[in-house]
Amino acid sequence: MQAIEFDPLFNISLYVSVLLAWLVLLITAALVVSKITRRLWQRYSERRQAFYLPLILKAVAEEGSVELMPRSTYRWGDRGIVEAALLQWTQTLSGFGLERISRIFEEAGFADEEIRRLKDWRWWARARAAKRLGTMNCAKASEALIRALKDPVIEVRLVCAWALGRLGRLEAVEPMMQALAPHSRLGALSLTHVILQMGPRTAPVLERMLGQGDPAAQALAIRLLGDLKDQAALPLLLPFVGSDSLELRIAACRAIGVLGQEQGWEAMLGALEDTAWEVRARAAWSLGMLKVPASAAALAAALGDRSWWVRVNAGEALARMGERGREALERALSHQDRFARDMAAQWLEELALGKVH
């Protein structure tokens, strides 16, 4: 047997292993302690919330005469517990109750605290502040929320837009569009939700935005005008069908289809000849929404389009069109293009089964 020399690598490995073993013990202990602590805190805060609940109810019922957090019973941590209770309660209230609880929130100084937190260095604290202000319908926070729409973190901007939507502030629509529409589909989606909740009174602002700004904001404005069924917007939308921007052409075709005004059909026939398949597919879809019988021939021709999606949408549009559409589909069964014949057969079958609405 050979003599074994000292090797520092083995010692290092052993030290690392021992260190790892200590780490195992440490993590396990930390996990157990944190689990116990969290459970205890949860029980404690539930008890304190139960203590404050009658006071909150009394404060809602008797305006201005109830001290929400009496000094004699106040304990460390109670402020957070009361604020959480108010926020939780708000979700079940509307009308007068919501107004009252919102005023209690402001009177207790929570609103000012949250407005200050909109400038916190941690983005999640800013987002939480915006969410709380929105949940409490805190009108005095409008200006601060509009300013916070320029926050560098998208989550904060999203929550601010949501809060402003709850407050129904019309002057916030344009800053919201500029803050969120160019960011992503999620921003546009959130904005759509907010603006549709605010309703048709936002239409004049959106119409104004058609002539200016970022293409993404313009495309969203076009889309929203369609969704809001703003019939007066059609003449403003038609020029966008010939826009240089693909995004704007698609949005315009969709909005015209959603508006459902027959006057839009000629523009859609033109769009059916667009170089981009996305526009042709959307135009075919819109013609199906407009249901103008005179467009049947063009749609029947589109059944033989080189793009699959144009063919699908043209078939569906014809199926939606009623008698003229059905006749066109039946004629297409003898189309020279096999794909057009197959598509016609598919949609005739869907029609027969009553699956087209």
Partner 1 sequence: MARGVGLGEGPLNWLRLALGEIQRGILIYFLGLNALYFVLVLISIFAILRYMRAMSYRNLQEVLKSKLAPPISVIIPAHNESAGIVSAVKSIFQLNYPEFEIIVVNDGSTDDTLEKLVRAFRLRKTKRVYHKSLPTRDVRGIYASRMAAPWAELVVVDKENGGKADALNAGVNVSRYPLFCSVDADSMLERDSLLRVAMPFMERGDIVGVGGIVRVANGCFISQGVVRSIGLPNQWLPCFQAVEYLRAFLSGRIAWASLRSLLVISGAFSLFKKSAVVEVGGYDRDTVGEDMELVVRLRHALKPLGKPSEVDFVPDPVCWTEVPENLRTLWRQRNRWHRGLAQCLYRHRGMTFNPRYGVIGLVAAPYFWIAELLSPVIEIAGYFVFFLSLLLGSLQWKAFAAFLLLSVMMGINLSLFAVVLEEFTLHRYPRVRDFLRLLAGAVFENIGYRQITTLARLDGILDNFRQQYAEWGTIERKGLDTAA
Q: Give the residue with the Cβ less far from partner 1, 89 or 123.
A: 123
Stretch that binds partner 1, among 32-40, 77-85, 173-181, 208-216 (CB under 8 A): 32-40
Residues in the chain: 357
User: How far apart, in Å, are the Cα atoms of 69 and each of 43, 81, 104, 138?
Assistant: 20, 11, 11, 21
Shortest CB 151 distance to partner 1, Å: 12
Half-sphere exposure of 246 (CA within 13 A, CB side): 7
Quick check: helix, strand or coil at residue 336? coil
The residue (of 188 and 292) whose beta carbon lies closer to partner 1 is 188
To the nearest whole angstrom, how small is the minimum distance from the Cβ of residue 127 to partner 1? Answer: 5
Among 198, 210, 279, 312, binds partner 1 (CB under 8 A): 312
306 binding partner 1? (CB under 8 A): no
Q: What whole-number distance in Å separates Cα of residue 2 and Cα of residue 142?
A: 82
Binding mask 232-271 for partner 1 (x = CB under 8 A): ----------------------------------------
**Is-contact 199 229, C-beta < 8 A?**
no
Residues in binding contact with partner 1, number by CB under 8 A = 56
Helix (H/G/I), strand (E/B), else coil: 335 = coil
Q: Are 217 and 209 in contact (CB under 8 A)?
A: yes
33 binds partner 1 (CB under 8 A): no
DSSP, collapsed to helix, strand or coil, labels residue 78 as: helix
Q: 260: burial class by Cβ within 10 Å (0-12, 13-18, 19+)?
A: middle
Give the helix/strand (H/E) hosting 34.
helix 8-61
**Minimum distance of partner 1 from residue 288's CB (angstroms):** 15
Is there binding between residue 52 and partner 1 (CB under 8 A)?
A: no
Task: Check residue 40 for interaction with partner 1 (CB under 8 A).
Answer: no
CA distance 30 to 26: 6
Please name the residue that has the structure tokens 């019988």.
293
Among 185, 235, 275, 336, binds partner 1 (CB under 8 A): 185
Does residue 55 sit in helix, strand or coil?
helix
Is 314 exposed, middle or buried (CB count within 10 Å of its CB: 0-12, 13-18, 19+)? buried
**CB closer to partner 1 out of 18 and 170:** 18
Part of the chain binding partner 1 (CB under 8 A), chosen from 95-103, 152-160, 210-218, 319-327: 152-160
For residues 84-143, which are near partner 1 according to CB under 8 A? 124, 127-128, 131
Stretch that binds partner 1, among 55-63, 179-187, 208-216, 293-301 (CB under 8 A): 179-187
> Using CA atoms, how far apart are residues 117 and 133, in angstroms rounded to an integer?
11
- Judged by beta carbon, residue 14 or residue 294, the one nearer partner 1 is 14
**51 lines the binding site for partner 1 (CB under 8 A):** no
Among 101, 118, 179, 188, binds partner 1 (CB under 8 A): 188
When asked if residue 5 is in the footprint of partner 1 (CB under 8 A), the reply is yes
Asked if 234 contacts 198 with a C-beta cutoff of 8 angstroms, the reply is no
Alpha-carbon span 199 to 90, nearest angstrom: 23
Nearer Cβ to partner 1 (170/189)? 189
Binding residues (CB under 8 A) for partner 1: these are 1-7, 9-14, 16-18, 20-21, 23-24, 27-28, 30-32, 34-35, 124, 127-128, 131, 154-156, 158-159, 162, 184-186, 188-190, 192-193, 227, 308, 312, 339, 342-343, 345-346, 349, 353, 355
